[in-house]
Chains A and B, each alone.
Chain A
Amino acid sequence: MSRRQASLQRPTTDLPVLIAPSAGSTGRTAGRDSGCGAPPRLAYWHGFLLLAALLLSAGVAEAQSEPGRAGILETMIKWTPLLFEGFLFNILISFMAMAIGTVAGGFLGIWQISLLPSVRRGSWLVTQFFRNAPWLVLLFFCMFLLPFQIEIFGLVVPLPDWLKATFGLALPVMANVSEIVRGAIQSLPSGQWESAESLAFTRRQTLWMIILPQCVKRMLPPWMNLYAILTMATVLASVVGVSEVMTLTGEVLSAEGGRTDLLVPFYSYILVWFFIYCYPIARWTVYLERRFAVNA
Chain B
Amino acid sequence: MTRMMQGLLLAGVLALGLSAGDAQADLAAAKERGKLIVGVKADYKPYGYRDPSGAIVGIEPDLAKDVADKLGLELELVPVVSSNRMQFLEQGKIDLMIATMTDRPDRREVVWIVEPNYYSSGTNVLASKKVGFKQWEDLRDKPICGIQGAFYNKKTQTEYGAEIVAFKGTAEVLTALKQGRCLGFVYDDSFIVSKLGDDEWADFEMPLPTIDDAPWGLAVQLGDQAFHDIMHEMIVNWHKSGRIIELEKKYGVNNTPFALAMHEKHKNM
Contacts and interface: CB of A to CB of B under 8 A. Distances in A.
A182 to B, nearest CB: 14
A155 interface: no
Given A122-B3, A148-B20, A259 B54 contact: no
A14 to B, nearest CB: 42
A254 B49 contact: yes
Most buried by A among B1, B92, B171: B171
A254 B45 CA distance: 6
Contact of B51 (A111, A150, A253, A255): A255
Contacts of B43: 250-251, 254-255
A260 B171 CA distance: 6
Contacts of B45: 254-255, 257-258
B13 A253 contact: no
Nearest to A111: B2
Contacts, number: 105
Interface stretch (A48-56, A74-82, A131-139): A74-82
A82 B13 contact: no
B61 to A, nearest CB: 13
B200 A251 contact: no
Contacts of B3: 118, 122
A145 B10 CA distance: 11
A270 B173 CA distance: 20
B6 interface: yes
B2 A253 contact: no
Contacts of A119: 1-2
A28 B92 CA distance: 62
Given A147-B23, A254-B44, A241 B171 contact: no
A254 B19 contact: no
B50 interface: yes
A78 B51 CA distance: 10
B127 to A, nearest CB: 15
A85 B92 contact: no
Interface residues of A, number: 38
B174 interface: yes
A263 B2 contact: no
B170 A149 contact: no
Contacts of B173: 258
B52 interface: yes
A159 to B, nearest CB: 9
Interface string B57-82: 00000000000000000000001110
A211 interface: no
A122 B170 contact: no
Interface in A71-111: 78-79, 81-82, 85, 111
Given A241-B79, A250-B172, A263-B171, A147 B54 contact: no
B54 A82 contact: yes
B226 interface: no
B17 interface: yes
B218 interface: no
A260 B13 CA distance: 43
B50 A146 contact: no
B38 to A, nearest CB: 15
A253 B43 CA distance: 8
Given A82-B52, A248-B50, A260-B175, A145 B170 contact: no
B9 to A, nearest CB: 10
Interface string B182-195: 00000000000001
A148 B88 CA distance: 9
Interface string B79-117: 111001000000111000000000000000000000000
Contacts of B171: 250, 253-254, 256, 258-260, 262-263
A82 B199 contact: no
A111 B43 CA distance: 47
Nearest to B177: A260
A258 B91 contact: no
Contacts of A148: 20, 23, 91-93
Contact of B200 (A123, A146, A250, A260): A260
B79 A243 contact: yes
B91 A147 contact: yes
A215 interface: no
Contacts of A255: 43, 45, 49-51
A118 B2 contact: yes
Contacts of B79: 241, 243, 247, 251
B10 to A, nearest CB: 11
Given A123-B2, A148-B93, A241-B84, A258 B170 contact: yes
Ranked 7 nearest A-B pairs via Cβ: A147-B20, A253-B171, A254-B43, A122-B2, A255-B49, A250-B169, A258-B170
Interface of A: 66, 68, 78-79, 81-82, 85, 111, 116, 118-119, 122-123, 126, 145-151, 241, 243, 247-248, 250-260, 262-263
Given A119-B2, A148-B93, 7 more contacts: A123-B2, A145-B17, A148-B23, A254-B45, A255-B43, A256-B171, A259-B171
Interface of B: 1-3, 6, 13, 16-17, 19-20, 23, 42-45, 49-54, 79-81, 84, 91-93, 168-175, 178, 195, 198-200
